[in-house]
Amino acid sequence: MIELKTPAEIEQMRPAGVFVGEVLSELAKQAAVGVNLLKLDKIAHDMIRARGAESCYIDYHPSFGASPFGKVLCTSVNDAVLHGLPHDYALRDGDVVSLDFAASVDGWVADSAITVQVGTARAEDTRLIQVTTDALAAGIAAARPGNRLGDISAAIGAVATAAGYGVNTDFGGHGVGRTMHGDPHVPNQGRAGRGLPLRAGLVIAIEPWFLETTDKIYTDKDGWTLRSADGSNGAHMEHTVAITDDGPLVLTARR
């Protein structure tokens, strides 16, 4: 069921968005050569405790997950692009890591992701990350009353297609509110002018993710991490966005 938030409720969601943005900003700074993925998860866990927030991931066990997630952060490295389960791995020079984090503050959830390069940057990865960032911006710009859900999806997909990347629609954006995942589903490819009419009060996570040379994925043996079918690198960007009469409001903006 799709639930619209009142202006007061959107204001109540702001602290969660600020917190999630702060955590990802700190993690992006900490993601350096030699840093273990488990340390990044611990940093996020410590920040959750200090804030008095709640993790949306640690007990999360959807139908596509092999077991409860057990960590508070998704860390997807190189050919991993989504749902990366933190494990004993030290980041290496040239790695690409996507950090996806969601938390609840005072009963309201925010969800966001960022992809960063570690050490020496590869031109191919820089381009992939920039295109994914541009696609997120295009999707956010289309999140306005009077548009339709397909306008968001089409805007994201157009950026990917123009850059020569394929688009996988198995996983995409989603509604956000008292829980992390709700209606509507927001695919990263669609037809403009189609789908749900966008109204003020709708809060959604918009999250383009692309792979360098394929749009096919498979699930790692850990039961969670999604990897590219051909071993090419991925990038993932996400913000929680409230649709208002004044246009899109990015609740998870990083300062």
Q: DSSP labels for the chain?
A: ---PPPHHHHHHHHHHHHHHHHHHHHHHHH--TT-BHHHHHHHHHHHHHHHT-EESSTT---TTSSS---SS-EEEETTEEESPPP-S-B--TT-EEEEEEEEEETTEEEEEEEEEE-SSPPHHHHHHHHHHHHHHHHHHHT--TTSBHHHHHHHHHHHHHHHT-----SS-EEE-SSSSSEEEEE-SS--TT-SSBP-TT-EEEE--EEESS-S-EEE-TTSS-EEETTS--EEE-BEEEEEETTEEEETT---
Confidence at residue 68, expressed as pLDDT on a 0 to 100 scale: 95
**What is the tens place of the pLDDT at every residue in 25-70?**
999 999 999 999 999 999 999 999 999 999 999 999 988 888 999 9
Closest of 98, 91, 92, 96 to residue 78, by C-alpha:
96
Spatial distance between the Cα atoms of 228 and 215, rounded to a whole number of angstroms: 7
The angle subtended at Cα 66 by Cα 111 and Cα 185, nearest 5°, is 40
Confidence at residue 233, expressed as pLDDT on a 0 to 100 scale: 98
Confidence at residue 1, expressed as pLDDT on a 0 to 100 scale: 87
Residues in the chain with pLDDT values less than 70: none
Structure-derived torsion over alpha carbons of residues 228, 172, 98, 204, reported in degrees to the nearest 10: 180
Confidence at residue 63, expressed as pLDDT on a 0 to 100 scale: 86
Does CATH place domain 7-250 in 3.90.230.10? yes
Confidence at residue 90, expressed as pLDDT on a 0 to 100 scale: 98
User: What percentage of the chain exceeds 70 in pLDDT?
Assistant: 100
Closest of 17, 164, 30, 38 to residue 101, by C-alpha:
17
User: What percentage of the chain exceeds 90 in pLDDT?
Assistant: 97
